[in-house]
Structure 1
Amino acid sequence: MAATPSPKLESFYTQKKRQPSQSEIVSLMAQCDKTQRQIETWFRHRRNQDRPSHTKRFCEASCSWRFFFYLIAFLAGLRTLIDRSWFWDQRECWRGYPQQPIERAHFWYYQLELGFYFSLLLCVSVDVKRKDFKEQVIHHIATIFLLGFSYCSNYVRIGTLVMLLHDSSDFLLESAKMFNYGTGWRKTCDTLFVIFAAVFLVTRLVVFPSKIIHTTLVLSMEVFEPFTGYYFFNVLLMVLQALHVFWAVLILRMAYKFLFLGKLDKDERSDEESEPEEGEDDKGDGEEEDEEVEYFGERSKEALNLKLKILTNSCVLNNLTNHRAAVVSKMRKAQ
C-alpha cells in the first residue's frame, strides 16, 4: 500500500530519517494534524515503498553478468588448474619459490578476478543493501588486497586455489536468486539453495582452513622463513575465514527454517528494517478494517475518558459548593 501524499512527512522522511522517534512523532502530530497511529502507519507504508522489488533483486542477482561470471570463472579456473601439480599436492605451491613462472592462463585468471571484485566494490553502494553490507565491503577490499599482493609476491599458485574455491559456490547462490526473483520456481530455488549451502559449508569451513590456511601458515615455512608479506597475507586469509563463519551462521539459520519449518521465506541477509514490514504491507482488507475499528475504538475511549474527567470535576465542584453551604448554615444557627 502506497503512503498518502503528505509534503511535511515526505520532507521529514527524505531529509532527516526514515523512522522518527517518539518526540519527533509528537512534533509531526502538531504539524500535520494527524494522530500518532496515522503517522506511524504513513512511515511504515513509505518505508515499504522503498523496499526493492523482485525485478530489481533479479537484475542484481543475474543481469547476465554475475551468475555467468562466477560460472565461467569457476569452469575456466578448474580447466587451467586440474592438471597442475599444486592442485592435488599443496606443497607444490612452494616448490621452487619464488622462482615460479606465471602461465598466461593464470595471468588472465588473475586480471579478470581482480577487475570483477573492483566492479563489485564500486557497485555495492547501488545494490540492494542487506544486513551484511559492511561485511561485503570488507570482503571485497580484503579480496582485492589478497589478489594484488599475491600477484606481486608471486603467490600465484596458492592465489589461484583461493579464487577457485570461492567461485565453486558463488554461482550456485546466484542461480538460486535467479529462480527465486525471476521465475518464482520455489522448488528449484530451494533445491539449489540446499546444494549451495552444502558446497559453501564444506569449501569455506572445511577445505579453506584445512588446505589453504594450513598451506600458507605451516607448509610454506618448509621453504622460507617468515617475512612481512607472510604475516600480511595470512591476516587477510583470516579475515576471509571470519567472514565465512559469519555467512555460515546466516546460511544455517535459513537451512533450519527450510528443513524443520518446511519453508524458506526470506533471505537472512535482508535489510533488518524492511523485514518486519513485508508482512504488514501485504495485509488483507479484513486486517485493514480491524485497524480502523481499533483506531475509532481508541478515539471513543479517549472521548469517554474526557467525559469522565469532566464529570468528576463537576462532582468535586458540587461537593465543595454543598459543603460550603452547610458550613454557612451552621454558622448562622450558631449566631
Structure 2
Amino acid sequence: MARPRRASSNLGGDPRGDTSAPAWATMERTQPAQSSSGGKDLPQHSKRRKARSALHKWKQISFRHTWLTPLVLMVAILAAYLVNPGEQNPFHKAIFLSYNLGPDYPGGPDMYGKGYADWVFVGFYTIVLTFTREFIMQRLLRPMAIKCGIRKRGKQSRFMEQMYTAMYFAFLGPFGLYVMKQGSLWYFNTTAMFEGFPHRKHEGAFKAYYLIQASYWAQQAIVLVLQQEKPRKDFKELVLHHIVTLALIGLSYRFHFAKMGIAVYITHDISDFFLATSKTLNYLDSFIVGPYYLTFMGVWIYLRHYINLRILWATLTEFATVGPYELNWETQQYKCWISQIITFGLLACLQAVNLFWLYLILRIAKNYVFSDSQGPQDERSEDEEEDEEIERAQRNEDLKLNGNKPALQLNGVPVEGEAKPEGVRERRRKA
C-alpha cells in the first residue's frame, strides 16, 4: 500500500539543530499603531504629514526592508575608507586582515598574527553577513517559497532560514576543507593540533575563514538575543549551543588553539549543510526526503560525534603529551592543565547538545519508518504548531491595536481608520 501523503510534511516533524536561528526578515513583528487624532479643522493628510518625523519614516522603511540598515552601515564604513584608502585609515582594520608578518620563507604565503584589531574585522563582517542574510531572504528566498507553493507565513520563514543556511555553508564548508588541506591538519589530524604550539600566526586564508565564521556565529547570536518572536521549543538548547560555540571561538583564537577550532568548525559546517537541505526538502514535501534524511543522519553521526569524540579523546591524551605543556604568559604558552580542563569542558558541553539533537533526529526517523502501522492521524510537526501559535498571537496583537476590531490590512500591514472616497466630504448636521 502506498504511503499516505502527510498533511504537513513527509517526515512529520522538523529535525532540530543549530540552523534554526531566525532572521529579522522572518520575525513576526507588529508595527506601531498610527496616530489618528488631531484637530478637526486641518485636512487629514496634513495632520499625518506633521505627525510623521524622519525617524518614524525610517522605522517604517527599515521594518519593511530589514536589510536596509546594515546596508547603510556597510556603505558608510566603505565610504569612510575610500576617502583616504590605505593602512593609515582606521577603517582599514575593519575591511582587511591586520597584522601581516610577511612569509616565513622566500616565496611562501604571507603569515598573519593576532590582535585586538581582528575583532574590528569580525564586527564589520557581522554587519556584512546581516545584510546578505536579510537581503537574500527577502528578495530571493521569500518569492521562491511562494513560487514553490508554501503559503503559511511560518513555513515560509523556516524555508527561508534553512535555504540561506544551506547557501552559506555550501561555500564555507568547501572553503574550510581547502584551508585544512593546506597544512598538516588534514584530515582531522589531532596530533597536528598540538605540534609546534603555540600557533601564534596563520596563513591569510586560515585567518579569514576563522574570523568570517566568528562573524557568522556572532550575527546568529545577536538575532537570538534581540529576537521579538515567541521562542521555539528548542530555544534553550539553541542558546546554549551558541554560547558554547562563541566561547570556543573566542578562547581558541585568543589562546592559540585555532587548529582545534577549525576542525570543529568544519564538522559543524558540513553537517549543518545537510541538516538545512534536509529541512528544506521536508518543507517542499520532496519524494527524496526519506533517503536524503538517512544520508543526513550518517553525515551528522560521523562528523558531530565520531570526529568530535576523537577530538575530545585527543584533548585527554595528546593535549598533554604532544608539544610543551606549561603555562607561561611571557611566551604565550597556554597549553597547560587549566586550558585542558576548559577545552574539554566546552567540547563536552557541545557534544552533549549535539547528542540531545541526535536523539530528536532519531526519534523523527523512527516515527517516519513506523508511521504506516498507526493509520491516518494528525501528523503536524511541532514547528507548524508553533507557527499557528505565532499567527494567533499576531492576530490578537492586531486586534488590540485596532480596539478589538478586525484590522484592515494593506499589503499585509495593518492600517487604522476607515477608507473614504476622495472628493466626498462628510456632511455636518446643523445644531
> What's the TM-score bracket when you normalise by the shorter of the two chains?
0.5 to 0.7
Structure-1 residue corresponding to 2:210: 110
SS of alignment partner, residue 85 of structure 1: coil
* 1:73 paired residue among 153, 163, 172: 172
The change in CA–CA distance for 1:171 and 1:105 in structure 2 (over 3 A counts) is same
Contact (CA 8 Å) 2:244, 2:349: kept in 1 or not? yes
The change in CA–CA distance for 1:262 and 1:202 in structure 2 (over 3 A counts) is farther
The letter of the residue matching 2:173 is F
Contact (CA 8 Å) 1:52, 1:128: kept in 2 or not? no
The change in CA–CA distance for 1:127 and 1:274 in structure 2 (over 3 A counts) is closer
Structure-1 residue corresponding to 2:162: 61
1:275-314 equivalence runs, <5 A: none
Distance 1:275 1:202 in 2: 35
- Identity among equivalent positions (%) equals 29
CA deviation after TM superposition for structure 1 residue 128, in Å:
7.2
* TM-score scaled by length of structure 2: 0.47
Contact (CA 8 Å) 2:154, 2:387: kept in 1 or not? no
Distance 1:67 1:126 in 2: 24
The change in CA–CA distance for 1:127 and 1:207 in structure 2 (over 3 A counts) is farther
1:216-255 equivalence runs, <5 A: 216-222=315-321, 223=323, 224-225=325-326, 226-255=336-365
The change in CA–CA distance for 1:155 and 1:237 in structure 2 (over 3 A counts) is same
* 2:260 paired residue among 147, 152, 158: 158
1:1-335 equivalence runs, <5 A: 53-62=154-163, 65-88=164-187, 89-99=189-199, 101-124=201-224, 125-126=227-228, 129-181=231-283, 184-209=284-309, 211-222=310-321, 223=323, 224-225=325-326, 226-261=336-371, 265=379, 270=383
- Deviations 1:67-102, CA, capped at 9 Å, x for gaps: 111121111001111242222332121111015531
Distance 1:266 1:193 in 2: 18
Q: Which runs of 5+ in 2 are unaligned?
A: 1-29, 31-151, 327-335, 390-431
The letter of the residue matching 1:73 is L
Contact (CA 8 Å) 1:173, 1:192: kept in 2 or not? no
- Deviations 1:137-173, CA, capped at 9 Å, x for gaps: 1111110110111011111111110100111110111
CA deviation after TM superposition for structure 1 residue 274, in Å:
7.0
CA deviation after TM superposition for structure 1 residue 250, in Å:
0.1
CA deviation after TM superposition for structure 1 residue 218, in Å:
1.3
Higher helix residue share: 1
Greater relative contact order: 1 or 2 (C-alpha under 8 angstroms, separation 6 or more)? 2
Contact (CA 8 Å) 1:114, 1:144: kept in 2 or not? yes
The change in CA–CA distance for 1:137 and 1:103 in structure 2 (over 3 A counts) is same
The change in CA–CA distance for 1:250 and 1:85 in structure 2 (over 3 A counts) is same
The letter of the residue matching 1:192 is Y
Distance 1:262 1:173 in 2: 24
Distance 2:181 2:270 in 1: 14
- Deviations 1:242-288, CA, capped at 9 Å, x for gaps: 101100100010111222335995656x4877799xxxxxxxxxxxx
* TM-score scaled by length of structure 1: 0.60
The change in CA–CA distance for 1:167 and 1:273 in structure 2 (over 3 A counts) is closer
Contact (CA 8 Å) 1:57, 1:128: kept in 2 or not? no
The letter of the residue matching 1:198 is G
Bigger CA radius of gyration: 1
CA deviation after TM superposition for structure 1 residue 197, in Å:
1.3
Contact (CA 8 Å) 1:58, 1:178: kept in 2 or not? yes
Distance 2:303 2:259 in 1: 18
Distance 1:134 1:79 in 2: 34
Distance 2:230 2:171 in 1: 24
Q: Which runs of 5+ in 1 are unaligned?
A: 1-13, 15-50, 277-335
Contact (CA 8 Å) 2:252, 2:258: kept in 1 or not? yes
The letter of the residue matching 1:197 is M
Structure-2 residue corresponding to 1:283: none
Contact (CA 8 Å) 1:61, 1:177: kept in 2 or not? yes
The change in CA–CA distance for 1:228 and 1:143 in structure 2 (over 3 A counts) is same
The letter of the residue matching 2:286 is R
The change in CA–CA distance for 1:186 and 1:235 in structure 2 (over 3 A counts) is same
Contact (CA 8 Å) 1:130, 1:271: kept in 2 or not? no
